[in-house]
Amino acid sequence: MGRSASKSSRSRRSSAELPSHVFGSDVEQDLAFLLSEGRRNLARFNADLVERAFRFCVKAHEKDVRVSGEPYYTHPANVALIVMRELPLDDVSVVAALLHDVVEDTSFSLKDVRAQFGAEVADIVDGATKISDVFKSREITQAENYRKLLLSLVNDVRVILVKFADRLHNMRTIDSLSRERQERLARETMEIYAPFAHRFGLGNMKWELEDLSFKVLNPAAYEDIQQRLAKTRREQEEIIRRFAEPIEEKLRENGLTFEINGRPKHFYSIYRKMLAQGKSVEEMYDLLAIRIILDTEDNNECFLAYGIVSEIYRPIPERFKNFISVPKKNGYQSLHTSVISGDGKPLEIQIRTRAMHDFAERGVAAHFRYKADTGATASWVDASDLEEWATWVRDVFENAGDTAAEELLESFKLNLYQDEIYVFTPKGELRILPKGATPIDFAFDIHSQVGARCIGAKVNGKIVPLDHELITGDQVSILTSKNQTPHRDWERIAITHKAKTHIRRILNEERRARVIEGKELWDKRAKKLGLHLNEDDMERLSVQAKYGGRTDFYFALATGSITPEAAGELIRQLVQPAAAKTEPHQAINADQFRTAARDKQQGIHLKDPTASSSKIMFSYARCCNPVPGDAVVGIVTIGSGIKVHRSTCRNVADLHDKLQSRIVDLEWSAAEGGEFLAAVKITGEDRPGMLNDITSAVVAVQKTNIRGVTIDAYDAVFEGILTVYVADLEHLKRIFEKLHRIKGVKSVERFEE
């Protein structure tokens, strides 16, 4: 017997539809509720283990309070509840959710967690903590940190699933945060977490994360869409009822067991469509998607249902998509089509089995649960499609080379979110590529050598240019030549990270070979002219000669942009003025600076009593920002005189042996006056008014001028860099004392880049 349900609300159970319970009123009641939910939702549930973890969590966080004023343990308890209800995973994941903040925020260590709850729980907690560290550093755009984030997922998907649950609860309770922190959290969620949720097939979580972020980032548009949809709620319900009636009758006649429901598209999706189509909510017809969910394990019944729907309503052929025979890369399966309803409006239909529906809403979490229920290894790389993506992640970072961090991040966003096309090799092998892919992307997807030697392509038997945009169904044949190498404009044509990375790596290898060739030409010319310059000297002189650096200079030599003779004369002329008091073409060193010096009162001078400093130009290193009172040393440079560093500067320490002949001892002059730039790093507990307290404290010390302030916060912790003008070290110490007195400040120290 068939059954149907016509609903205009989303088919997932939202937090509002679940049994209500507010954590924090009573610890024992909270524990009892959590255990009952675990037994209700999880096939395997160790109540004793979860109870021990809950009590450990309460004890560890007993002194901690959320920004909202609730006991802190209510947050991990709610994260555990999401893991139970909305994914749902297993009892190990619930325990890890309860303990996910213990290592990061309390005195307990990972060793403590491992000793009490085992290695499996400890590894998940460790992975979740590492991901938190990446975001806390505010350096998510750095490739190395993104590498840590992605590769931490390869062994156990529960790491990222617990982190998703953590972020979802933070977004649901975002109202208690300051406006600035709300916007930062929402932007990070929209840019990082939602795309990852999409890639892992977590449809429900992705929608909610997007909508909650959208509500913060564009509250006016969110409210407008919400109100307009509320007005049409009854109309939507009536459309679904009228539409479903004839389908239900026919499905029952064919012996199918099913559920039909309708869901409005989520707000952010509607907003994006409104922008793309330039329409209002009222003008958009495809706000509803009708789902037919079949209680069967036979995928062929989905096609039977499609045939029945097509007999009743006229289908729109170009809107048919078969994701059952060819699933998306994240494992999503369903039949999609659009039909013209009785009142002439198009309606989107999705037809899937119950298992497909579970995967559509919970993605890899559903895969994990099914594997765990059968007693199989609960690793996400058991799924062939996700194993392919894990391999891709490794390949990306192994071949990242000189990829800019921002480009790497943008490429990941594209890969996580982009629509897909399905194209074929001449032998009929299927290749899934992002929408907008070109023959170059296809060639590199086949093999890096095929891509590197690509000279052209045939699509469906016809020659096409390399920037031709492929579409689903194309059969692509790549033409190659062993004499071909990538062109620089290929980077612009390609859209996949794999293609761009290989192109960039090959071009860089070619450039490095030319740079070596150019250096050999220069060394021969310099030897003939008697010029003895080290690589640091060449770097400075190349910049003075209007090149980007010595590698650009050597590359110009190798490619013939400048002849060795012209290059030699150019560098000789640049060296001559600086070496006027030395033997011709001889490298400048510290001894020559000492003999050339004359007396001059200034902020710094040579420590050697026999030397004077009138003709020496001093500049202060920006890496360590020395101020009067610091122990200092100087490094002789070409064109910039002596660069003054703090004696403790890491850059000096790292290069001490290499720079030995160019290091001179310095000391501060007795004459005072002037201002010196200093950088201060400050960390502590984030709270309203903290930035104002910091700036007020600094300005109060001798009316100190502040050049810049950068403050970043994560959850309840902030980290800031202040650049200030000070007279000397004592002035700076007084600023430190003032900052230390501010409530919530944990550390104040000199900052070095």
Catalytic residue among 37, 90, 105, 348: 105
672 is catalytic: no
Distinct helix (H) and strand (E) counts, the chain: 31, 20
105 is catalytic: yes
* Backbone φ, ψ for residue 668 (5° rounding): -80, 145
| Strand residues in 186-322 grouped as ranges (E) | 258-264, 288-294, 314-315, 321-322
User: How far apart are alpha carbons 572 and 579 in whole angstroms?
Assistant: 10
* Backbone φ, ψ for residue 431 (5° rounding): -130, 130
Q: Are strands 745-750 and 476-480 parallel, antiparallel or unpaired?
A: unpaired
The kind and range of the H/E element at 515 are helix 497-529
Q: Are 77 and 32 in contact (CB under 8 A)?
A: no
Catalytic residue among 51, 64, 70, 104: 104
User: How far apart are alpha carbons 12 and 363 in whole angstroms?
Assistant: 13
Measured CA distances, 470 to 424, 431, 488 (Å): 11, 12, 21
User: How far apart are alpha carbons 348 and 531 in whole angstroms?
Assistant: 75
The kind and range of the H/E element at 269 are helix 267-277
Q: Are 56 and 116 in contact (CB under 8 A)?
A: yes
Site of tokens 């062929």: 300
SS3 200: coil
Residue 357, Cβ density class (10 Å: 0-12 exposed, 13-18 middle, ≥19 buried): buried
For residue 160, give the nearest of 473, 443, 393 by alpha carbon: 393
One DSSP character per residue, 367-385 reads HHHHHHHTT----GGGSHH
Q: Are 527 and 566 in contact (CB under 8 A)?
A: no
| Residue 120 exposure: Cα atoms within 13 Å on the Cβ side | 12
| Strand residues in 158-287 grouped as ranges (E) | 258-264
User: How far apart are alpha carbons 218 and 50 in whole angstroms?
Assistant: 39
Measured CA distances, 67 to 137, 251, 566, 687 (Å): 21, 53, 67, 9
User: How far apart are alpha carbons 460 and 442 in whole angstroms?
Assistant: 14
| Residue 244 exposure: Cα atoms within 13 Å on the Cβ side | 25
Residue numbers annotated as active site: 104-105
